[in-house]
Amino acid sequence: MSEPETNQLHPDLGIPWQKMPRHVAVIMDGNGRWAQKRGLPRIEGHRHGSKSVRSTITAAAKLRLECLTLYSFSTENWKRPAEEVSALMELYRHYLISERAMIMNSNIRVRHLGDETNLPEPTLRELRETVRLSKDNTGMTLCLALNYSGRHELARAIRKLAGDVENQRLKVGDITEQLISESLDTAGLPDPDLLIRTAGEKRISNFLLWQISYAELYVTDVYWPDFTPEVLAEAVLDYSARDRRFGGLLPKNL
């Protein structure tokens, strides 16, 4: 993805490019409640939510975000009723097939965040195929957090580094924050600048615990099936008005 001039304004949002987030992560919440308010089965909320996934991906690519991460299924979600989980996995499988053309035509590269263990073979097969087909695309990176847990991701990274120490490929003193970052599922990607959560909930829910250390948080009461490109733009504009200090002071306050 080519870099715009930082002194130029974003053509759609009218803000300086340096005020744009490089990486936006989204906790997509509220599908079930959206359905229940309408007297529909919960899975209908997920089906309608998949339409918001498509429009959000398209909008994010149009905004020229470098990376978009969508939290679609956590390891804790296996606790839900088996019928709902099975329907969700089939919905993911169908989505990965039906949206493949859009992903390729939009030059989007797909990455999976999370553990492949426990994913049904048909869903895993289509996930791997979409990742394989899009690996050389040069546009926005789309990370699908499917069967994902921030704590589990950190545990996997620690086990890998511990194994390297045990096999004398690494010394304990060599372990740095950078090396830990490079051992995570998001290796090579910028940390999220903006974390959006829908449906009004104000918690992180075990999502990208290492990576969001300095992310700006944006909570909207909008349920995920009602999330639109306009809501995404509002979140980005809100982000652009914030002063990011990363623990320090702005020059005017020094």
Active-site residue set: 29, 77
Q: How far apart are CA 159 and CA 152, in angstroms?
A: 10
Beta bridge partners of 196: 26, 218
Q: How far apart are CA 208 and CA 211, in angstroms?
A: 5
In this structure, what DSSP letter does residue 108 have?
A: P
Q: Which long-range contacts (CB under 8 A, 24 or more apart) does 197-203 make?
A: 197/26, 197/27, 197/29, 198/26, 198/27, 198/28, 198/29, 198/30, 198/222, 198/223, 198/224, 198/227, 199/29, 199/30, 199/33, 199/223, 199/224, 200/30, 201/27, 201/29
Q: How far apart are CA 78 and CA 85, in angstroms?
A: 7
Host H or E run for residue 122: helix 121-134
Fill in the amino acid letter for 188.
Answer: G
Name the packing angle between helices 121-134 and 82-98 (round to 10°): 30
